[in-house]
Amino acid sequence: MLWNALLLAFREIRRNVLRSFLTILGVVIGVASVIVMVTLGNGATRAVATQIESMGSNLLMIRKGQHMGPGQTSSAPAFDLEDTVALERDIPAIKSLAPSATDSITAVVGNASWATSVNGTDNRFFSVRNWTLERGRLFSASELSGGRAACVIGATVRKELFGPQDPLGSNLRLKQISCEVIGLLVGKGQSSMGFDQDDLVVMPLRTFQRRIAGNQDVTLIQVSIRDGESTERAKTDIERLLRERRKVAAGEQDNFSVRDMKEVATMLTGTTEVLTTLLSAVAAVSLLVGGIGIMNIMLVSVTERTREIGIRLAIGALEREVLMQFLVEAVTLSSLGGVLGILLALGASIGLADMLKVPFVFNGGIVLTAFLFSAAVGVIFGYFPARRAARLDPIEALRRE
C-alpha cells in the first residue's frame, strides 16, 4: 500500500512541476525567514557582549551630572585634578584612573575632514581602556605639561583622514589648533550596533583644556578596578568620597554618576535581546504568511484535484489509498521544502552575519520549530481537503469542476 502510494505520489509530483515548486517555495520561505532572523538576532546579542568585554569590563565611568552619553546639559560642576588625586589616594581598589575632557570636533587634514570624538587625557587612559599602540609612541612629559600639541588617533580616524598614507608626523587640524600625530592605536574592530570605539583622537588633557575647552574642567574620570576587587564596593566608595568632596547634602541626589560598564553591558545585551524577540515576532509572522501560502496552494490544488480523486475512486481506488497518496505527496513536498529552507537559511545567515559583522550563532531549536511548523501546514492542508473529497461518491467528485 505504501509502495503504491509512493509510486502514485511521485507521479503526481512529477506531473505538476509548477504546483510542486510553489508548495516547496512556500515552505522554503517560511522556514528560511524564521531561521535567518533568529540567528541574526542571537548573533547581534553576542556581538554586543563581546564588544563590551573589549572595553574592559572592570571599568567604571564617572561623569558629572546624572546624564549619560554625549551632549549632556547638566549644570553640575565638573571635576578637577584634585578629585582624581583624592580618588587614587583614598580608594585602594582603584588600579588606575584617567581624567578626561571630551568633545565632538571635526578634524581636518588637507581636504579631508571627519567629525570625531576628541579625548583630552593622559597616558593612563591607554591602560585603563585596554588600548595598545600599533605604531608611534605615547605622550612625552613636555607634551603632557602643555607643550607642543600632539595626538594619538584611532583606526577609523586614520582611515577616514589619511587613507593609505602614513599619518605619523603629519599634522591634524582641530578647530584652531594643529597637532602632530605621534601614535596609531590598534583597531578594536567592533563597529556594529552604531558604536565605533575606533573613532577617536586622544590628546593631552592640559592642551585640550587650554586650547580647545578653554577651562580647567575634567568631565569624565575613567577608573579601572584591581582584579579580584569588587567593582560594586569600589563604586560605593567612590560615590561616598565624591559626595563628600562635592559637598552633596545628605538626602540630596548625586550630581555625578558612576557607571559600571558591566551594567552597561547587561543593559545593552538586554536591548539586543528585546531586538531578538522583535525579530522573532517578525519571523513568526513570515512563517505564518509562508504557511498561508502553502495552505492556499494546497487548498486550490485539492479543489482542482477533486476531479482526479473522482477518477481514482471510479476506477477502484479505496478512500484510504487516495489519502495515503496525498499524504505522501504533502510530506514529501513539505520535507523537501523544509530541508531546502534550512540550507538556504544557513547560507544566508552565514553571509549576512559576515556582512553585518555579527557572529553566526546556530540555534537548533528554531530550525526544528520552523521545519515542523511548515511541514505540519503542508501536511494538514494537503491531507484534510483531500479527505473530504475522497469521502464523496465518485460521481459527486467528478462533477466538482
Where on the chain is the footprint of another protein (CB under 8 A)? 4, 7-8, 11, 15-16, 307-308, 310-321, 391, 393-396, 398
Which is closer to another protein, CB of 318 or CB of 356? Answer: 318
Number of other residues whose CB lies within 10 A of the CB of residue 77: 13
**Shortest reach from residue 394's CB to another protein, in Å:** 4
| CA atoms of 115 and 202, how far apart (whole Å) | 14
**Shortest reach from residue 326's CB to another protein, in Å:** 15
**Amino acid present at 176:** Q
**Shortest reach from residue 401's CB to another protein, in Å:** 10
**Shortest reach from residue 329's CB to another protein, in Å:** 14
| CA atoms of 348 and 32, how far apart (whole Å) | 9
Nearest CA to 333 out of 293, 367, 379, 389 is that of 379
| CA atoms of 342 and 329, how far apart (whole Å) | 20
Which is closer to another protein, CB of 7 or CB of 300? Answer: 7
Residue 61 β-bridge partners:
222, 259
Which is closer to another protein, CB of 299 or CB of 392? Answer: 392
| CA atoms of 137 and 120, how far apart (whole Å) | 16
Which is closer to another protein, CB of 314 or CB of 356? Answer: 314
Nearest CA to 138 out of 74, 73, 81, 182 is that of 182
Which is closer to another protein, CB of 141 or CB of 315? Answer: 315
**Shortest reach from residue 398's CB to another protein, in Å:** 6
Nearest CA to 129 out of 117, 137, 121 is that of 121
3-state secondary structure of 372: helix
Contact by Cβ (8 Å): 146, 207: yes
The three cell numbers locating residue 220:
569624565
**Shortest reach from residue 393's CB to another protein, in Å:** 6
Which is closer to another protein, CB of 193 or CB of 398? Answer: 398
3-state secondary structure of 49: helix
**Shortest reach from residue 347's CB to another protein, in Å:** 34
Number of other residues whose CB lies within 10 A of the CB of residue 388: 12
